[in-house]
């Protein structure tokens, strides 16, 4: 198994990223380590199963950005991932900018990706908004870079939130067409990756609008819980979260048509590691005056230790640089054979 995933280093890591993606990365890292141990014990290779996690800094330049801010956010996001439990000794943790093969492979795959496929990407439509003509070319071709990110490492599994699934479908389409066009059936150049979405928290919504996803780009700080928020801020944001006036129902079906209530209950379930029904068995019939403080306290319990580790890691800039440099060296080594095979398959002469 080869697990690959990325996150853009823009702004703060929020609860949606954590519950929708990062927590799942940590789980997979731990599971793969178990699998490697079992394999080594049986006399096989000890690093056949590998996790690669990266900061998608090359993706971040597809939107207007401040270079100093990007530099700062990249290091902060690296610290945040380690604070959440990504262990740079067990997983390969790096940023794309230190592994030029990502950008190289994107160019090579641009020949295979079709305009029509990219035109269908909902994220481009969302992010370019009404100003399609003024959007960067990078925003349009971004999903090809995302395909390169995973295909470079022969990823088998890509843990992502619901919103990234369409990009993964595209990566599969690109891989399949490339293999068909330029490789023989018994020696494909690329592995088709499978998206893995955690069933318990695939989509965490804004605290201000239960129909919009919790996002770094939402201008309202009250819409999201950042993993750097202190206890008071978390309690305040939860207290102010939009809700309706009804008490909670005792079964999940009763949350239909109540997106804000559904969101808060599912966040509780995800944090507590239980189902929505189990949360409602405990809080059904209660109003938000009771539920919100309980939710806030649970959030603080989960987030406070992460924040403490994050702050300590940020103190040591040299250590963070070293983590990313080491990860990038390993990633360059892992990606080299696939990049070489791609050049070769396309008939590009490299001496
Ligand atoms: P990004 O940086 O927007 O988000 C990182 C991960 O967090 C998930 N996520 C959420 N999950 C649940 N609820 C939410 N509100 C929420 N917001 C974000 C995302 O689904 C994602 O898994 N294009 C990607 C980064 C990327 C990538 C890749 C991912 C670049 N190359 C290759 C996987 C494989 C992005 O912008 O994610």
- In the chain, CATH 1.10.240.10 sits at 221-311
pLDDT of residue 284: 96
Q: pLDDT digits over 216-256, tens only?
A: 889 999 999 999 899 999 999 999 999 999 999 999 999 99
Give the active site residues: 127, 213, 216
CA distances from 114 to 91, 104, 128, 173, 177 (A): 33, 18, 19, 10, 10
pLDDT of residue 43: 83
Among 6, 80, 148, the mutation site with the greatest number of ligand 1 atoms within 8 A of its Cβ is: 6
Considering the four listed CATH numbers 3.40.309.10, 3.40.50.2000, 3.30.420.40, 1.10.240.10, the one that applies to the domain covering 221-311 is 1.10.240.10
Look at residue 46 and tell me whether its pLDDT is greater than 70. no
- In the chain, CATH 3.40.50.620 sits at 2-196+317-346
> Quick check: CB of 332 below 6 Å from ligand 1?
no
Tell me the pLDDT band of 348, cut-offs 50, 70 and 90.
Answer: very high
Could you tell me which of 110, 162, 157, 164 has the C-alpha nearest to residue 138? 110
DSSP SS3 for 4: strand
> Quick check: CB of 59 below 6 Å from ligand 1?
yes
Tell me the pLDDT band of 349, cut-offs 50, 70 and 90.
Answer: very high
> Please, is 282 exposed, middle or buried when counting C-beta atoms within 10 Å of its C-beta (0-12, 13-18, 19+)?
middle
Radius of gyration of the chain (CA): 21
pLDDT of residue 200: 63
Phi-psi sector, 347: left (phi>0), alpha (psi -120 to 50), beta: left
Look at residue 202 and tell me whether its pLDDT is greater than 70. no
pLDDT of residue 214: 93
Nearest CA to ligand 1 atom 4: 7
pLDDT of residue 197: 85
> Please, is 87 exposed, middle or buried when counting C-beta atoms within 10 Å of its C-beta (0-12, 13-18, 19+)?
middle
Statement: the pTM of the whole predicted model exceeds 0.80 = yes
Going from the Cα of 24 to the center of ligand 1, the distance in angstroms, rounded, reads 12
Look at residue 210 and tell me whether its pLDDT is greater than 70. yes
Tell me the pLDDT band of 21, cut-offs 50, 70 and 90.
Answer: confident
Q: pLDDT digits over 74-90, tens only?
A: 999 999 999 999 999 99
User: Would you say the ipTM is above 0.90?
Assistant: yes
> Quick check: CB of 20 below 6 Å from ligand 1?
yes
Using the atom order of ligand 1, give the atom closest to the CA of residue 160.
22
Whole-angstrom Cα distance, residue 152 to residue 147?
A: 8
Whole-angstrom Cα distance, residue 142 to residue 156?
A: 21
Going from the Cα of 290 to the center of ligand 1, the distance in angstroms, rounded, reads 32
Going from the Cα of 164 to the center of ligand 1, the distance in angstroms, rounded, reads 6
The proportion of the chain whose per-residue pLDDT surpasses 90, expressed as a percent, equals 84
Q: Which residue would you say has higher pLDDT here, 44 or 193?
A: 193
> Please, is 23 exposed, middle or buried when counting C-beta atoms within 10 Å of its C-beta (0-12, 13-18, 19+)?
buried
> Quick check: CB of 204 below 6 Å from ligand 1?
yes
Among 17, 70, 212, the mutation site with the greatest number of ligand 1 atoms within 8 A of its Cβ is: 17
Q: pLDDT digits over 137-173, tens only?
A: 999 999 999 999 999 999 999 999 888 999 999 999 9
Among 15, 21, 95, 154, the mutation site with the greatest number of ligand 1 atoms within 8 A of its Cβ is: 21
What would the CATH number be for the domain defined by 2-196+317-346? 3.40.50.620
> Quick check: CB of 271 below 6 Å from ligand 1?
no
Residues tagged in the binding site annotation for ATP: 8-10, 16-17, 161-163, 204, 213-217
Pairing assessment for the beta strands 50-55 and 92-95 based on DSSP bridges: parallel
Q: pLDDT digits over 253-263, tens only?
A: 999 999 999 99
Nearest CA to ligand 1 atom 1: 7
> Quick check: CB of 6 below 6 Å from ligand 1?
yes
Pairing assessment for the beta strands 2-7 and 92-95 based on DSSP bridges: unpaired
Q: Which residue would you say has higher pLDDT here, 252 or 44?
A: 252
Look at residue 201 and tell me whether its pLDDT is greater than 60. no
> Quick check: CB of 16 below 6 Å from ligand 1?
yes
- The 10 Å CB-count burial string (b at 16+, else e) for 318-340 is eebeebbeebbebbeebbeebbe
Whole-angstrom Cα distance, residue 8 to residue 74?
A: 8
Tell me the pLDDT band of 129, cut-offs 50, 70 and 90.
Answer: confident
């Amino acid at each position: 198994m080869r697990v690959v995933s990325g996150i853009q280093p823009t702004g703060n890591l929020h609860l949606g990223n954590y519950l929708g993606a990062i927590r799942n990365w940590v789980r997979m890292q731990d599971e793969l380590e178990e699998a490697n141990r079992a394999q080594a014990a049986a006399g096989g290779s000890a690093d056949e199963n590998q996790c690669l996690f990266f900061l998608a800094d090359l993706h971040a330049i597809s939107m207007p950005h401040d270079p100093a801010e990007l530099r700062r956010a990249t290091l902060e996001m690296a610290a945040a991932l380690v604070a959440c439990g990504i262990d740079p000794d067990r997983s390969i943790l790096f940023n794309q900018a230190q592994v030029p093969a990502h950008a190289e492979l994107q160019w090579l795959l641009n020949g295979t990706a079709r305009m029509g496929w990219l035109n269908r990407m909902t994220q481009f439509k969302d992010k370019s908004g009404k100003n399609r003509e003024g959007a960067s070319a990078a925003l349009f071709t971004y999903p090809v870079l995302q395909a390169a990110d995973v295909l470079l490492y022969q990823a088998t599994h890509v843990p992502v939130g619901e919103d990234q699934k369409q990009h993964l479908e595209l990566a599969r389409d690109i891989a399949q067409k490339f293999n068909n066009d330029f490789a023989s059936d018994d020696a494909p150049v690329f592995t088709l990756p499978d998206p893995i979405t955690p069933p318990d928290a695939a989509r965490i919504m804004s605290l201000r609008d239960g129909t919009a996803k919790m996002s770094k780009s939402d201008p309202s700080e009250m819409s999201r819980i950042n993993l750097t928020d202190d206890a008071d801020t978390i309690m305040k944001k939860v207290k102010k979260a939009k809700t309706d006036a009804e008490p909670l129902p005792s079964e999940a079906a009763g949350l239909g048509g109540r997106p804000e209530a559904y969101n808060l209950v599912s966040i509780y379930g995800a944090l507590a590691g239980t189902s929505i029904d189990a949360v409602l068995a405990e809080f059904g019939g209660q109003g938000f005056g009771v539920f919100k403080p309980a939710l806030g306290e649970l959030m603080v319990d989960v987030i406070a230790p992460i924040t403490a580790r994050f702050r300590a890691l940020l103190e040591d800039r040299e250590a963070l640089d070293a983590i990313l440099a080491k990860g990038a060296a390993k990633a360059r080594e892992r990606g080299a054979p696939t990049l070489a095979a791609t050049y070769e398959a396309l008939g590009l002469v490299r001496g």
